[in-house]
Chain A
Amino acid sequence: MIVAEQKPIGEIRQLIAPYSKVLLLGCGTCMTVCGAGGEREVSFLRDALRVAEARSGDMRHDFLEYTVKRQCDFEFLDVVAEKIPEVDAILSLGCGVGVQAVAERFPYIPVLPGVNTSFIGLAKEWGVWDERCAACGDCRLAETAGICPITRCTKGILNGPCAGTKNGKCEANKDMDCAWVLIYKRLEALHQLDKMYRYYPPRNFRVIPRPRRIVRKVDVKVGEGNG
Chain B
Amino acid sequence: MVENHRSGSGYDKKQGFYPHVVMPPCQAACPLHMEISEYVDLIAQGKVMEALQVIREGNPFPSICAYVCTHPCEDACRRAQVDKPIAIRALKRFAVEFGGDRMIQLEAETKHKDRVAIVGSGPAGLACAYYLRKLGYPVTIFEAHSEPGGMLRIGIPQYRLPREVVDTEVQRLINMGVELKTDTRVLSLDLLFDMGYRAIFLTVGAHQGLRMGIEGEDSPGVIDGATFLREVNLGLKPFPGETVAVVGGGNVAMDAARTAVRLGARKVMVLYRRTRAEMPASATEVEQALEEGVEFMFLVAPVKVKRENGLLRVTCIRMELGEPDAGGRRRPIPVKGSEFDIEVSTLITAIGQAPQLSQDFRLRIGRGSTIQVDPVTLTTNRAGVFAGGDAVTGPATVTEALASGRKAAFRIDEYLQHRYPGVDREVTSSLGELSPTTIEMIRRSERLEPPCLPPEERIKEFKVIESIYDWESAVKEARRCLRCGMGAEILFQDKCATCLTCLRVCPYRVPCLDSNGSVRIPVDQCQACGICVAQCPARALVLRKPRDGRQINEELEHVIRVASESRSRPLIVGFCCQYGLLGTGALADVWRGTRAGISIVPVLCVAKIEEGHMLQAFQMGAEGVFIAGCGKECSRENTAFWVWQRIEKVRKALSQIGLEPQRLDMFTPDSSGGSMAEALDKFAERIGALYLNSVLRQEVKA
Contact = CB atoms under 8 A, between A and B. Distances in A.
Interface of A: 8-10, 28-29, 32-33, 35, 38-41, 43-44, 47-48, 50-52, 54-55, 65-69, 76, 79, 123, 125-127
B657 interface: yes
Contacts of B659: 51, 55
Contacts of B495: 28, 39
Interface residues of B, number: 31
Interface in B455-508: 494-495, 497-501, 504-505
Contacts of B365: none
The winner among B615, B649, B654 for most chain A CB atoms within 10 A is B615
A9 B656 contact: yes
Contacts of A47: 611-612, 615-616, 619
Interface string B282-326: 000000000000000000000000000000000000000000000
Contacts of A43: 539, 612
A32 B1 CA distance: 14
A126 B618 CA distance: 28
Q: Considering the complex of A and B, which 3 residue pairs feature the smallest CB-CB distances, nearest first?
A: A47-B615, A126-B504, A38-B537
Given A40-B538, A44-B615, A125-B504, 18 more contacts: A28-B497, A32-B537, A33-B497, A33-B498, A33-B537, A35-B501, A39-B538, A39-B539, A40-B537, A43-B539, A44-B653, A47-B615, A48-B615, A51-B654, A52-B657, A55-B659, A67-B538, A69-B1
Contact of B615 (A32, A51, A127): A51
B2 A69 contact: yes
Nearest to A37: B537
A79 B653 contact: no
Nearest to B534: A40
A38 B538 contact: yes
A53 to B, nearest CB: 9
Nearest to B694: A55
Contacts of B612: 43-44, 47
Interface of B: 1-2, 4, 494-495, 497-501, 504-505, 536-539, 611-612, 615-616, 618-619, 621, 645, 649, 653-654, 656-659
Given A54-B621, A55-B659, A39 B2 contact: yes
Classify the secondary structure of A's interface with B. Answer: helix
Contacts of B497: 28-29, 32-33, 38
A48 B654 CA distance: 8
A35 B649 CA distance: 12
Contacts of A55: 618, 657-659
Given A54-B619, A66-B4, A48 B657 contact: yes
Nearest to B503: A126
Nearest to B505: A126
A67 B2 contact: yes
A212 to B, nearest CB: 26
A11 to B, nearest CB: 9
Nearest to A79: B1
A33 B4 contact: no
Contact of A127 (B498, B611, B645): B645
A50 B653 CA distance: 12
